[in-house]
Structure 1
Amino acid sequence: MDDKTTSRDGTSLAYRVTGEGPVVILVSGAMSTGGTLAPLAERLADRVTAVVYDRRGRGASGDTKPYEVAREVEDLAALLAAVGGEAALFGVSSGGALVLDALASGLPFTRAAVYEVPYADHLAGGAEREAVYKQNLDRALAEGRRGAAVELFLRLTGLGEEMIQRARQSPMWPGLEAAAPSLAYDDAVMADGLLPRDRLAAVPVPVLAIAGGASPDWMRQACRDIADAVPRGEYRVLEGQTHMVEPDVLGPVLTEYLTA
């Protein structure tokens, strides 16, 4: 990351600015950094000033304790001030939940888009699954078992045991273990894993909720619910896309919506 700013509680935040045009801050999901969204930022750069950043506890950013979701909302306020005071927001997965919470908190962003926030209302046993995950994650992290925490998250995403064991043997595993404590942060952002309808009703700006056409139906329904819950919501499906959406497919949709 090229630049730094400081959040209200003194946490250093690393960010990078790419492109020219209206500003959009990109918010990553679990087990990722600002670099994860760099390919999307590059895809937007011809018409948009895209800002990627390392959320607290990741990459080159700091991690002041204790963690609270409100501190991550303050991080977005600090970034907004650092890039000129006017910007849109985009968040992917649990990063989308953080975007929606920031909007409901009253931060003055112009509009927002989110991609597949995994609210589990339409997933059979979703609430119970989230509760068990939270309990097991908290225990693993408290005991310092970072590898076990990463495995819990990978299982939650639907990755099979064979793939998890392959991941354990891969060069990326040490980096995943290093980022494991931040899993608790995304878990806190997702709260009980269910759509916060009353909270979303307070979002004052336009929001585009996007889903992949090849993603599970419960994920697409969650996006529909977001669009219905916010007062100025829209819903769109990207045919053939999954949770790992391709920047070349998502980029034009975001550019059109965020520069309208």
Structure 2
Amino acid sequence: MTFPSKTGAVKVPGANIYYETKGSGPLVLLIPGGPTDAGIFAELSAHLADRYTVVAYDPRGNSRSTLDGQPDDQNLDTHGNDAARLIETLGNGPAFVLGSSGGAQIGLNLAARHPALVDTLVAHEPPCLMLLPDPSEELAGNQAIYNTYHKEGAEAAMQKFMAMAGLDEDGAEEAPQSPPPPEALETFERIIANVDYFLAHGLMPLSQYQPDVDALRAGSPRIVIGVGADTAGQIAHRTGVALAEKLGTEPLHFPGDHSGYRQHAENFAKILHQAFAQG
């Protein structure tokens, strides 16, 4: 069954937040990370819309969520407030939330600071470097990426970023046999256009974010840390495991790599539903 999408926008301080919604039922908020936007969750949303009202959005400064003024360094409290405003506007909360990568960081901030708005948060591979026993190597790597961006440009910097994160190998298993649909091409073009903003204003402040572990351990909302079945050894997998240890929980394994919600959308949705149902 196909579920049509509806689009909308919510005014928040300093920005307009674009969102897409489909399906009906309890609210599920999908939060993308880095330079990505709502489009990365197209396949996953299609497998959730038969039982949930699925909302995906573009974080402020990315794609269709425009800033009122000039860009500034990204702030997780601001991102968390934006997510809270979306849930309050759309109603039918508290919401189930999936955040992936930098979106998982936003979800962690949302759950810690606006707990009444969240039923269960699944934080999939949050790249919180400060959770590592010794993050000095990774922090130095990010500084090198940032310096490369200013000296050599976005393409060279992103090559370093992908290699450091282990993401340059992700996606090899999904070699397309036919041209991607127009919607996927449009998403890719938007993401490419967001890279400068991410490198200039997101990479450094977001990587240094430390979630409020004490608040997250409170028991409400329920916090589930997800990791990819194929990402062992990668930075975001290691930070996810580190956070789960601090929370006293076991990480939940999802199929695929850091973007398994795309390559394995159907199975990813099944595991996600089970995680939500256990709350």
Q: Give the TM-score of the pair, scaled to structure 1.
A: 0.79
Post-superposition Cα deviations, 1:73-111, rounded to whole Å, max 9, x if no partner, equal 111111011210511211111211111122112342111
Post-superposition Cα deviations, 1:128-174, rounded to whole Å, max 9, x if no partner, equal 22233135416625x6933333333223223559x9xxxxxxx8986
Letter in 1 for 2:126: V
Across the two proteins, how many residue pairs are aligned to each other?
Answer: 247
Q: Partner of 2:78: helix, strand, or coil?
A: helix
Partner of 2:230: 214
Q: Does 1:145 align with 2:145?
A: no
Q: Partner of 2:17: helix, strand, or coil?
A: strand
Q: Does 1:5 align with 2:14?
A: no
Taking a change above 3 Å as real, the CA distance of residues 220 and 132 of structure 1, as seen in their structure-2 partners, is closer
Q: Partner of 2:29: helix, strand, or coil?
A: strand
Taking a change above 3 Å as real, the CA distance of residues 111 and 122 of structure 1, as seen in their structure-2 partners, is closer
Taking a change above 3 Å as real, the CA distance of residues 149 and 177 of structure 1, as seen in their structure-2 partners, is farther
1:45 is matched with which residue: 45, 49, 52?
Answer: 49
Alignment of 1:134-173 (within 5 A): 134=143, 136-137=145-146, 140-141=149-150, 145-158=153-166
Contact 1:26 1:89 in 2 (8 A): yes
1:128 is matched with which residue: 137, 151, 158?
Answer: 137
Letter in 2 for 1:56: R
Alignment of 1:63-102 (within 5 A): 63-64=67-68, 65-66=71-72, 67-84=74-91, 86=93, 87-102=95-110
1:34 is matched with which residue: 24, 27, 38?
Answer: 38
1:57 Cα deviation from its structure 2 partner: 1.2
Structure 2 unaligned spans of 5+: 1-5, 172-184
Structure 1 unaligned spans of 5+: 164-170
Letter in 2 for 1:249: N
Contact 2:63 2:190 in 1 (8 A): no
Q: Partner of 2:119: helix, strand, or coil?
A: coil
Q: Does 1:227 align with 2:244?
A: yes
Contact 2:84 2:114 in 1 (8 A): no
Provide the aligned C-alpha RMSD in A: 3.2
Q: Give the TM-score of the pair, scaled to structure 2.
A: 0.75
Percent identical across equivalent pairs?
21
Taking a change above 3 Å as real, the CA distance of residues 28 and 202 of structure 1, as seen in their structure-2 partners, is same
CA distance in 2 between partners of 1:211 and 1:187 (Å): 22
